[in-house]
Amino acid sequence: MSRKYKITAACAALILLFSAFFFFYQKQQEKQTEPVSVTGFKLNTMIKITVYDKINTELLEHAMALCDTYESLFSRTLSTSEIYKLNHGTLPEKNGFFEVSPETAELVRKGLYYAELSEGAFDLSLAPVSSLWDFTSEEKVIPEPDALKNALPLVDYKNITVEGNTIHFEKEGMGLDLGAIAKGYIADKIKEFLVSKGVKSGIINLGGNVLCIGSQPDGTPFKIGIQKPFSDRGETSITINVSDKSVVSSGIYERYFKKDGILYHHILNPKTGMPYKNGLVSVTILSDQSVDGDALSTSCFALGAKKGMELVESLENTEAVFITENGEFLYSSGFPVSDK
Ligand code: AMP
Ligand code: MG
């Protein structure tokens, strides 16, 4: 073999080696940003957590298990939960102050803040009234007028006191319903956990309560679709570009039933015990923390388009879109719509 031929062969071998190495390296890089997801039915809804970083799938399982941990604190209907026991007076108590976990005390404080901010349109003491309704079974239960009349005087957030990790009710028979705020709180806690483990890119979706971790792996914002009212889950009306934000909707299409041609939905007026009827079908809130977005989506729905929008405009880093029965979209001044 000539010297010239030997050099050419060596060069070709080197090029081949480099190409193989480059191909392998690229595949590894691709693998790192391939999404990893877990899904499940928890908190009475479909949960999906997706992470775009290379992580141990055990972390995702742990994130999923956090839903169970918090459900065992905040559920109104689970007979083993802390809130159920609080509502039924079976928690340890001293002078009428029931002992709760720091997490429950923290969430109740948040709920009281939003009850005050919405002047009671959002009221976490709704349990005596909301427990008379059932929007999940096929039963189509409308509460008896007498039952509602007895329950309504028990609903007033001003009669709740939180001191340290204890809760006191002014009236016997009062109880908490954290359904309008708990999923947001839980989403924030899951994000906190994943970020503490080094996750930089992901989406936490708790039945439409969406919380982004960072942006897409290539640095561009996530595209989040806003649910089209009364359509299949996944069908969207508009899409927004967001990074590191929470996108939470409250709508009459989420839990409802129809009886004698009337639609009864799950966002209730604490003054009447009946579903709000104010021309809105949904409110979506864009915020940094999901607990705020969750509380505000329910609060703004309850306040109606005019007062709800005024509230949103008065808050920092908070945007909203209200969808009306006539199909109108009402946007707050800084709402980032990509295809209006
Ligand atoms: P969301 O889907 O976040 O708007 O929450 C709705 C849930 O919050 C309902 O299923 C009830 O458990 C509870 N809820 C209903 N109406 C109200 C209200 N006016 N204030 C506070 N919580 C409410
Ligand atoms: Mg809510």
Read out DSSP for 315-331? STT-EEEEEETTS-EEE
Backbone angles phi, psi at 91, to 5 degrees: -90, 155
What count of residues does the chain have? 340
> Quick one: pLDDT at residue 237?
78
> Quick one: pLDDT at residue 251?
92
CB 165 within 8 A of CB 101: yes
The token duo for 77 is 């209907």
CB 280 within 8 A of CB 323: yes
> Quick one: pLDDT at residue 23?
54
What are the residues facing 209 on neighbouring strands?
A: 206
> Quick one: pLDDT at residue 8?
64
Which pTM value belongs to this model? 0.89
Counting ligands in written order, the one closest to the CA of 44 is 1
> Quick one: pLDDT at residue 340?
47
Q: Which residue spans within the chain are E strands per DSSP?
A: 36-42, 45-51, 93-94, 97-99, 160-163, 166-169, 202-206, 209-213, 222-227, 236-242, 246-251, 256-259, 262-265, 280-287, 319-324, 329-331
Residue 225 has a CB neighbour count (10 Å cut-off) of 14
Choose one of 43, 110, 130 to mutate for the ligand 1 pocket test, by most ligand atoms within 8 angstroms of C-beta. 130
Tokens 């480099």, located at residue: 18
Residue 154 is classified by DSSP as G
Q: Which residues are within 5 Å of ligand 2 (an ion), measured at CB?
A: 180, 250, 294, 297-298
* Exposure on the CB side of residue 279, measured as CA atoms within 13 A: 11
pLDDT in tens, the chain (340 residues): 566 666 666 656 655 665 555 555 555 554 556 899 999 999 989 999 999 998 888 999 999 999 999 999 999 999 999 999 999 999 999 999 999 999 999 999 999 999 999 999 999 999 999 999 999 888 888 999 999 999 999 999 999 999 999 999 999 999 999 999 999 999 999 999 999 999 999 999 999 899 999 999 999 999 998 877 776 656 667 899 999 999 999 999 888 899 989 999 999 999 999 999 999 999 999 999 999 999 999 999 999 999 999 999 999 999 999 999 999 999 999 999 765 4
Counting ligands in written order, the one closest to the CA of 124 is 1
Which residue type, as a one-letter code, is found at position 183? K
Decide whether any atom of ligand 1 lies within 6 Å of the 286 Cβ.
no
Q: How far is CA 168 from CA 21, 72, 270, 276, in A?
A: 66, 20, 20, 28
Report the C-alpha gap between 115 and 110 in whole angstroms: 9
Choose one of 256, 268, 276 to mutate for the ligand 1 pocket test, by most ligand atoms within 8 angstroms of C-beta. 268
Helices (H) and strands (E) in the chain, counts: 8, 16
| Residue nearest atom 22 in ligand 1 by C-alpha distance | 180
Choose one of 125, 177, 185 to mutate for the ligand 1 pocket test, by most ligand atoms within 8 angstroms of C-beta. 177
Q: Which of 287, 324, 294, 326 is nearest to 306 (CA)?
A: 324
Cα(300) to ligand 1 centroid in Å equals 11
Atom from ligand 1 closest to the CA of residue 302:
19
Report the C-alpha gap between 273 and 287 in whole angstroms: 29
Report the C-alpha gap between 116 and 123 in whole angstroms: 9
Q: Which residues of 196-207 are buried (b: 16+ CB within 10 A; e: fewer)?
A: eeebebbbbbbb
Cα(282) to ligand 2 centroid in Å equals 11
